[in-house]
Structures are given as structure tokens and as C-alpha cells.
Chain A
Amino acid sequence: MKYLPFIFRNLFRKKTRTILTIGSIAVALFLFGLLVTIETALNAGVDVAGVDRLIVRNKISLIMPLPLSYQERLSQMDHVSEATFATWFGAIYQEPRNFFPQFAVDTETYRSVYAEFQISDDEWQGFVADQEGAVVGRVTADRFGWGVGDRIPLQGTIWSGTWEFNIRAIYDGSRAGDDESQFWFHWKYLEERRPFGKGTVGWYTVKIDDPDHAVAVSRAVDERFANSAYETSTETEQAFAAGFAKQIGNIRMLILSIGAVVLFTLLLVTGNAMAMAVRERVPELGVLKTLGFGDRTVLFLVLAESLVIALVGGTVGVGLAKLFTMGGDPTGGMLPVFHLSTGDVAFGIAIALFVGIAAGSIPALMAMNLRIVDALRRV
């Protein structure tokens, strides 16, 4: 602690250089924070996907439907405790940028299969009783200022026309990362009004009695409907969500690549700043050693400067990223789970500390190994 004032005095010896170095670390860590947030958002479905749920979709493509009749057959299969379904609606609220996912769901089974979404019984009953009723996630409700009882018009894109809904319930996720942006309404309402696609659903979600049976049940489902007009492709919800995320690209690899480049650049920037700081101060380091400062103390002093720079820059950068993400999804619904977790904040700070140690170690070793007589000769 008694060395802190000395360390800070040295840090502000070249104010511009110190501020620029801190700034470059802050910008890099801000970028890191955003990238991690985006990666988390894209994989949110994967992280919170139910381990005891399977997604059954059309083998050709997710956008191809499956017959309604499959529900009963799926429900009767071994190890299947329940089967529900949903259909992508894809309507627009006021303008295209107001995106949020809308599903026409089976009101009899959907809630029990997706038990992590919490809705009061009263509101759910209100929803079930109203064929034009809808359930909306907390994030979307807050985003548009909707409340229970509001009547919401949506402009259909797949099935054209104006579709009006009564908000009957608002759900909350029970875990961090649960998607609270969805909008559910009665599949029967869709079925009655749509001019085509009748008798079909988008996909099935099958709840199984034990995650260990996932592979066997998946195989059994696909075999059950093989060689039919609607062959299926069945996988765990987690694999389904991961595949969905991969449609955008290998985000994790992209983020790792960018992160590695940023980290390497940071090492160069900070390392160069610290090396310059030590080179300029060789005679002073010689004086310190003359006064009795040991080699390790000198090493510590230089390393501490590097660590303070990295820590301040890292804290500012990650802090700004945290503040930015607290503002919510900036894409208008494409990334509903948009938050920087405490773990990722800590990871960002840890990266900054690593940069501080790695960048400062060579200059610090240079300072430690400096011979006093050589250093004093450079006065």
C-alpha cells in the first residue's frame, strides 16, 4: 500500500500515453463485452433448452409443416409423456423493425410442456377462454407498454390481413436467459382464419420421461413417420437451438478469432507503453536500486503500473459494455436475451489482468535485471 502513491505518480508521468493506453484497453474490453453478449444471446436457446424435450420437425425443412394428426400418434409413443405443437406466425406490429417471435400454440398442452414460463392460473384461464387471447413475454410487454386487457393488432405476412388479439396474460421466465419476448395465441384462431395450410402445424415439442431416452425416442419417432408424406427429423431441443444459431454462422469461432486478435493487439499496445516507460526511467530505476530497493521490489513496481493500467482500462471497458447491455436488445427483437452476465464481467476483468501481467512482465524483468552501475551511467 505504501508504494501506491509512487506507482500512481509514475503512471501520470506521461498522462497522454497512459490515458491512450487505458483507452485502448477500455475500447477492446467494451468490444469483448458486446461480442460475448451477442454470443450469449445467440446461444441463449441452447443454454436454457430443456434436456427432456425433443423437437420434431419436417425432414425437408423447418418451414415445411407437419400434420396435426401426428400429435396423437406422438403422445402414444413409449417414453413420451406429452406432445405439443406450435406454428410460426411472423406478423408485424406497426412496423417491420418491431420484431418479436409469435407462435400459434396448442392451448391444452403448451403450458405444461414449457413449465419454465410462469403465468398465473387466473390469467392462463382467461387466455384459454378467449379465442382471440394472447400471452406475451415480459420483455415484449415492457417494450411496447402492453398490459393485460389491451387489444393488439398485428399485420400478417404469411397469412395476410389484420389480426387482432387480446392480451390475457404476461409470462416471466424462471431462469436467467429464458426468452421473455415470445407472443403466443390460439392455434385454433389461426386455423379458422387462414386460407391455406389448414390441418398442419409448424413443429412438435415432445416431452419425454427421461433425458437418457432422448436418442432412442428420436430414432423411434423418425422411423415411425419414415416413408410417409411428412417425414420427420427429431432432435433434442438443445441440438435444435444450436442448429438454429449455426444458421447465422459459427458465431463462437468468429468471436474467438476477433477476441484473439484484440488480445494480441492489446498485448502489443500495453507492452510497448510499458517498455517505453521503463526505457525512459532506467537511471531512476538505478537510483531506486542504489537506495536499497531490491530487484523484486523494482519488478513489482513496474508490474503494478502495468496492472493498474490494465485494470482501469478493463473495468471502464467492461463497465461500459454492462451499461450498454442494460439498455436491452438494440436490434429490436433479434436478440431477446441481451445481457452481460456477472461471470462474463469477471472474465473480462480477468482478461484485462492477464494483459496487464503479460504486457508488463518483460519490461518488469528488464527493470529487475538492470545493473546499477549501467543504469547510473545513463544519467
Chain B
Amino acid sequence: MVSIDGKQHSGSLIRVRNLNKIYHRGGETIEVLQGLNLDVERGEFVAFMGPSGSGKTTLLNLLGGLDIPTSGTVSVDGDEITSMSGRNLAAWRARHVGFIFQMYNLIPVLTAFGNVELPLLLTKLSKAQRRQHVETALALVGLGDRMKHYPRQLSGGQEQRVAIARAIVTDPTFLLCDEPTGDLDRKAAEEILDLLTQLESDHGKTILMVTHDPLAAERADMVLHLDKGVLVEAADEAAAS
């Protein structure tokens, strides 16, 4: 069950408490997140919506340990990541988070195989084991026959599939998706959303997705809106408006 009331919930995989993020730009102070609370249980698919500049990506960055909050805490599976050192945080990301970006962010000089193998280089797996994991991940996203292709030889939808394979190859605790269909046509977007839904339903993956696309948000179990630095549930927002 997803919750934003900040009350104690047993069994939360992700727990965010009183999260604040303030930016200072040219003498101006911008409070992007203001005392945000969130609880997400394992296996849930949550979508975050909101206008540009509302702090969706900032929230995703904080949940993924890519950025440090001004105050507040983020705990994942009992680990409080906001108090981790940079080195521990990098190791934690490698183990627990799969990232999927709007622009895919594949390494152009590596093949699909090489891109998916990248996170596994940080593990102690042997070369043969890495190969097996990569082949499984690429087969899962339907690109088992494109392993030797470079990103420039793939369509946008295929590139995003490779990115998803890269995100799941280490079997992370949860996936963070930042506008995963934002750069795709409708058909490719639907395929990617089908894949994400499949990852949640068939493989029990916890997914947190930022999107502008209402059709994409429909796939989630819960849609949360970011408004003035705090989260509101879609129904509450509708009532408020």
C-alpha cells in the first residue's frame, strides 16, 4: 500500500520522512520539496506526475541516492541512504537500484551486450556468469537477437529495452524510471509500458516512475501528484481542483 501521510507503516520497502530539498540559484532560494513523506511497499508500481519544475526528477534522484536532501531521510529496506558516504551509496545503488532514463543513456561505443553487462562489472561474477545474466536480461526484454548491435543500430524502443535490461540485470530491489516513454512514439511507448507492467506483475518488481503521460500513469497501481513540493494522491487533487 502506498502512503503519503508519514505515519508508521510496517512492511514499507521505501520510507521517506520529512524530505526537503532547497536549491540556491543566483541568490534565489527554491524549495523544491517541502516535508515530503512517502511509503511504498514491495512490488508496487507508483507513478509521479506534476508540471515541469515540480520536483519529480529531484524526488527520483533522492530516492535513487543520486542527490542529497537538504533535510529528511530516505530509507530503503531498512537502510537509511541519506546518511551513507558517497562510496557506500555507489555500492548501494549498484546493488539495489535499476535506473531507466528518458534518453536511454546507453554507452554508444558498447554493444547491447556490453551496455547490459556494465553493472555486472561491479559484481564478483565470472565472465561466464555475466554472459548468462546478460543473455537472460536481453531475452526478457525481447532483444536476444540484438546482442551485438550498437545503440546507433537500434530503434528508440529497442534502445529503451536495452536500458531496461541494463536496469534489471542485477535484479535490483526497485526500478526508478524517469519519463521512460517520453522520447518514444505511441506504439513503442505501449511496448515499454507493457514490459514494465510485466516486470511488476510477473517478477514482483517495485517500480517508481515519473511521467507526464496520463496513459503511462494509468499502468501504475497508484498515481501521485507533486504539487508545491508535497505529494498528493490523484483523487485528492481532483477533489481539490
Q: Which residues of B contact A288 (CB under 8 A)?
A: 118
Are B122 and A10 in contact, with the CB atoms below 8 A? no
Against A, the Cβ 8 Å flags (1 = close, 0 = not) of B30-72 are 0000000000000000000000000000000100101100000
* 17 additional contacts (CB under 8 A) given A284-B107, A292-B119, A373-B67: A2-B127, A5-B114, A6-B118, A13-B109, A290-B66, A290-B99, A290-B105, A291-B93, A291-B99, A292-B91, A292-B94, A293-B122, A294-B90, A295-B87, A372-B66, A376-B105, A379-B105
Q: Identify A283's interface contact among B64, B95, B105, CB under 8 A.
A: B105
CA distance A317 to B122 in the complex (A): 35
Give residues in A with beta carbon < 8 Å to B.
2-3, 5-6, 9-10, 12-13, 283-284, 287-297, 372-373, 376, 379
Nearest A-chain residue to B167, judged by Cβ: A291
Q: Which residues of A contact B93 (CB under 8 A)?
A: 290-292
- Residue of B61, B90, B108, B122 most packed against chain A (CB within 10 A): B90
Within the complex, the shortest CB–CB distance from B85 to chain A, in Å, comes to 10
CA distance A199 to B204 in the complex (A): 108
* Total cross-chain contacts (CB, 8 A): 67
User: What interface size band does chain B fall in?
Assistant: 20 to 34
Give residues in B with beta carbon < 8 Å to A.
61, 64, 66-67, 86-87, 90-95, 99, 101, 103, 105, 107-110, 114, 118-119, 121-122, 127, 166
- Residue of B91, B94, B95, B121 most packed against chain A (CB within 10 A): B121
Task: List 17 contacting pairs A-B, 8 Å CB cutoff, sorted by A.
Answer: A2-B121, A2-B127, A6-B121, A12-B109, A13-B108, A290-B66, A290-B93, A291-B94, A291-B118, A292-B91, A292-B92, A292-B93, A292-B95, A293-B90, A295-B87, A372-B66, A379-B103
Are B66 and A10 in contact, with the CB atoms below 8 A? no
- Enumerate the 9 nearest inter-chain pairs by beta-carbon distance, A residue then B residue, closest first: A292-B94, A9-B109, A294-B90, A292-B93, A372-B66, A287-B105, A291-B119, A379-B103, A373-B67
Q: Which residues of A contact B95 (CB under 8 A)?
A: 292
CA distance A42 to B54 in the complex (A): 75
Within the complex, the shortest CB–CB distance from A356 to chain B, in Å, comes to 21
Nearest B-chain residue to A377, judged by Cβ: B57
Q: Which residues of A contact B166 (CB under 8 A)?
A: 291
Are A372 and B122 in contact, with the CB atoms below 8 A? no
